[in-house]
Structure 1
């Protein structure tokens, strides 16, 4: 009997200890980059709807380009104040800059901090995003050391970092100048090899954890780009701003299923010093090449992802508007084909992106080009004037 009670006590103690260990284990933080140079009314809903899932906003504040010079992002300070999340101002120094005029850069950064504070914004930190080559890391370290000395003592300083720096003996000294780093694991290879590789990202994160004793984050993609070729065949990347170029566009999109799996694995077994994930970027309702916010939130939560396409008909005196609705949490490709069982049709047509084939009792809409229907959204594909359309007999073919 004594042995039985002792076993029970040990079991209860083990359960309590295990529970304490789970409570003490820090959860991975999840943050967002806000990367639009010009803010629009769409930011209001995007910030509001992202509030529950992402703790901190890293906001593009200032950029420097080789020819164009300095460009300040036109933020909406009132929206950010109302949002209330911690703010980190990100300064982007293009990697193609031949050199950094350290005094000028520090002056520009101090001016941004002053401007934001004058608008009632409290900064939780400054991040420098500079894709320096390995040969320039000593100069970059000197710049960061001097910048650290000019910032308020209590203001954290972080940098965006490249996996290529892992091979540099300068990396430990560079990381010693900042409070944390953000390892960018997307869009760092030849774009013809793809936007993101999850296995490679895991390896980089593990290697980075061995090179730093400070908190670091992973910057993960929630967007896509188009790949074109210039006259010499070299890759040209098109993002949200259309390029005035002819030629075929190859669309590259970060796979939400792949990113969800990676995020779940990292939360379950994070590399040492990994503090969180930062998603690039906050999607707006009119973004052409970003995941919908519904999909991004589902990925961040680790939800099972699924698109749920269905036909949506709107009738008015025999005139039907025909659309595809996506009620899932995963953005879905336009279906290849939609068939509708009909009676007594006087006319019908497809809208841009689809072609129509019509017989006496069947309408078939076939996809001409690729596109996506956002989670929770819909897309009109045609119209028909018919005596009757049997929605129950419709078929959506992926």
Structure 2
């Protein structure tokens, strides 16, 4: 048989051979809250069956200029068998050369964490992208202390174009690409951004081209930004507690959009970027954490399921006085409307809770007050006010403005 005929016979076989589809990325999550709190322990238990791996904030280190201060959240045992542990090193250490003396206190913490036998140790270090070679020096030293426990760096999209980046991650057992970050405005009145899906897509595409396994960290949280009288940022609040003895001139709010995130996850589940092993969500939903998605939202998003808003005004009649509440009957947090307009004729009315009242020619305007957290979680309601009608009515006529 001639070579030409052999090639002809083999061609249909090679032409029909298809590349095996890549698996959808696994679901992982960070536990940044203290695992000793009962509600956090309950959330860890609830995550079983949905979240493949948890990564618990174990220690935070801050460079004082002369030494490291260390805050340990995990000391004697793992909060969950097989979970990962995260070592956070703040920006205060960003100018260190990571000499042996500077590495030594960090190495001691890594040894202690490795002794707990976690699935891995992540190093979340605020390294300037111009000093990635120093980061590599630190990681080399810490991996020796971790022994057989994988040491995984957390990285940023802006680092991907640096020549030192591939060198940094090439000898690691993968890396985490954090595509969520708080982008603060220079002045009040400008938008605050936590998650941009276009940036995430672009970063995933660049990471896929490197041929090194990676995971992507995405946001579930929101924050409140305080501005001073000069229009500059004075505080960023990502938990419920606000600073004492401070009063902002104005506030801005942001929350990672669950619908945008769900659309991106659906895209990656269908056609994952090469090398993408998992999406790690920051942070695990915990009951009472109002600046974070609730559990029902999280479950939808990690499956790539978007949801339509279902926000209504409910009226409860008490002997002719109607109490008004805005209610979220959907599965995702929904922005509270700026205005709820009532067109039913009334004899008296007033605002309450999150809303104040103004009377206009087209009806009563219940206006959302400034400075309140503007998202309403699924299944929750918030008082808007009350009204009394001239005649008994079975329905209050209303509509919202965004």
Is TM (by shorter chain) over 0.5?
A: yes
TM-score range, shorter chain: 0.7 to 0.9
Residue 27 of structure 1: which of 24, 29, 47 is its match?
24
Residue 217 of structure 2 corresponds to 219
Is contact 2:194–2:255 with CA below 8 Å preserved after alignment?
A: yes
Is contact 1:341–1:391 with CA below 8 Å preserved after alignment?
A: no
Give CA-to-partner distance per residue, 1:69-117, whole Å, 9 cap, x none: 2112269969x44xx6x41100000122132521110101222344xx3
Residue 73 of structure 2 corresponds to 73
Q: CA deviation at 1:195?
A: 2.3
Distance 2:76 2:367 in 1: 43
Note closer, same or farther for the CA distance 1:386–1:128 as it changes in structure 2 (3 Å cut): same
Residue 281 of structure 2: which of 279, 291, 297 is its match?
279
Q: CA deviation at 1:332?
A: 1.0
Q: Does 1:106 align with 2:107?
A: yes
The aligned length equals 365
Q: CA deviation at 1:180?
A: 1.5
Residue 36 of structure 1 corresponds to 33
**Unpaired runs of at least 5, structure 1:** 1-16
Residue 128 of structure 2 corresponds to 133
Residue 189 of structure 2 corresponds to none
Q: How does 1:209-358 map to 2 (within 5 A)?
A: 209-211=208-210, 213-229=211-227, 234-236=232-234, 237-240=236-239, 241-243=241-243, 244-314=246-316, 321-335=323-337, 336-337=339-340, 339=342, 341=344, 349-356=350-357
Give the SS at the match of 2:195.
Answer: coil
Q: Which of the two has greater helix per residue?
A: 1
Distance 1:294 1:75 in 2: 31
Residue 88 of structure 2: which of 66, 89, 92 is its match?
92
TM-score (norm 1): 0.79
TM-score (norm 2): 0.78
Distance 1:189 1:282 in 2: 22
Distance 1:44 1:387 in 2: 53
Distance 2:201 2:23 in 1: 19
Is contact 1:106–1:147 with CA below 8 Å preserved after alignment?
A: yes
Q: Does 1:379 align with 2:377?
A: no
Residue 176 of structure 1: which of 166, 170, 174 is its match?
170
RMSD value over aligned CA atoms? 3.4
Distance 2:394 2:73 in 1: 48
Note closer, same or farther for the CA distance 1:75–1:105 as it changes in structure 2 (3 Å cut): closer
Distance 1:327 1:42 in 2: 24
Residue 54 of structure 1 corresponds to 51
Note closer, same or farther for the CA distance 1:288–1:273 as it changes in structure 2 (3 Å cut): same
Bigger CA drift: 315-324 or 65-74?
315-324
Give CA-to-partner distance per residue, 1:330-367, whole Å, 9 cap, x none: 21112320538588x7x7543232123589xx875332
Residue 6 of structure 1 corresponds to none
Distance 2:204 2:333 in 1: 28
Distance 1:342 1:58 in 2: 56
Give the SS at the match of 2:86.
Answer: strand
Bigger CA drift: 67-76 or 129-138?
67-76
